[in-house]
Structure 1
Amino acid sequence: MSLFTGTATYYRQFRPGIPVDVAAVLDQAAPARPSGSRRLLDVGTGTGLVAEALLDRFDDIIALDNDVDMLAAAESSLRPKLPENSRLTLVESTAENFTPPAGWQAELVTICRAFHWLDQAAVLALLDRQVAADGAVAIFADNSFWAAGSLWKEAVRDVVKSFLGEQRRAGAGTFQHHNRPYSEIMEESPFNEVEEVRVPVHRTWTAESILGYLYSTSFAAPHLFGDRLKEFEAAVKNRLADFSDNDTFPEDNEFLIRLGRRGRR
């Protein structure tokens, strides 16, 4: 069973997309090319949120994921928006097993909200052959609800724990935390010249969108609750009512973008 079994519909509808300011940072990180020849590799694309934000900035996009439901959602959403003369290829594969077409190298590789699932050193080593000489690798994410950061998020996380246990779930197992900053891991890879960029973001949620977001995650996927799903929904709404009388819940978050380029070997 995939870590994200049953989450694709929620992921597409309720996961926050990539802000314009983040897309601009990613665009500027990649080298310029003559029109029609700029390539993007999006690893762990999910429902295609990163590819969607960069559709008009790259001419040839390969987006890969190992979840067929996620890829189907990406296909139905992205294909109608694809600019004329641009190419989009969706590939069912893990990052560890992916091989690009012969001679194909990306100006930019993006890994958003997915690096923690990968064999990190192995993937970065593989990318050395998949990225153009002057290309870049961008590893980035915003903070998940599990990281809390506000009183209402802490309350929601406590409800999740009361139903599923204290440890953060990851599908049928538990989440294994990484205790090293991603920048350190990148500095030991071919992309050892690392720059960090932080982009703040403010959002406003409702009880419905909070539940939808939770159902898009590996730690609160609907199937984890079994026949207690409705009970869980009621508990979340009841707890959230303590923090708002008009069903609005503000969030201050940020994207931390780590840009890796080849430096001295």
Structure 2
Amino acid sequence: MPLMQLDGVTVQFGGLTAVNELSFAVAEKTIHGLIGPNGAGKSTVFNCLSRFYQPAVGKIDFAGRDLLALRSDQVMNLGIARTFQNVELFRGMTALENVLVGQHSLGGSGFFGDLFATSKVKQAESARRQAAMEALEFLGLADTANSLVGSLPYGKQKLIEFARALVSKPKLLLLDEPAAGLNPQETSHLGDLIVELKDKLGITILLVEHDMSLVMRICDTITVMEFGRKIAEGDAKTIQNNPAVIKAYLGEGEASA
């Protein structure tokens, strides 16, 4: 059984169909790429999975649950975390504080526990801080823990957003163009880290990315979209040699040449 299954998902905005009868499955503990030219509908799919958008028709099953029956605030508790194309961090807070924010969905100690700072509250807070530090250490960011995020290089900010997603203990991590704005060396390092998330932590990855060298290097399966529809699916070699994919990216004339 796949960890997640989309079946006939269609998303419309007025007279515009952004996603058109899209179906694909994401196998557990794999890296699954979702690619396509600008305007293909990839980010719309992510917004459906995050429950920001409601499909007009279709089904989304996640670990045996009807994802479309949940609110956006319930998705993280189910085991889905997300990063964004543009870094969404609190620039006036430290790296550690930003990562701690990622644990807000894991339960609290209640009003009176917080008010009186009971031993149970202190133990829980210590455990959260330890988990946040472990996430930073896993990504090689332990030395940034007490640094204000706004003072850090962009590449490290992207990884801090990764760390914040990791502390929520996701089963599925949605990565929305994680290599955007990174240089080739940072992109290569990022690819290695994504593979480690799968191999060492057993996290399933759904990746939207325009850097094709990264996608082809790390993805187990790739789904290609164009104008809201799926036009191809398979491993890297299959996708690279698919005429419909070549045409979608290069245009009919260049593809023929």
Q: Same fold by TM-score, threshold 0.5 exceeded?
A: no
Higher RCO (CA-CA < 8 Å; seq separation 6+): 2
More helix per residue: 2
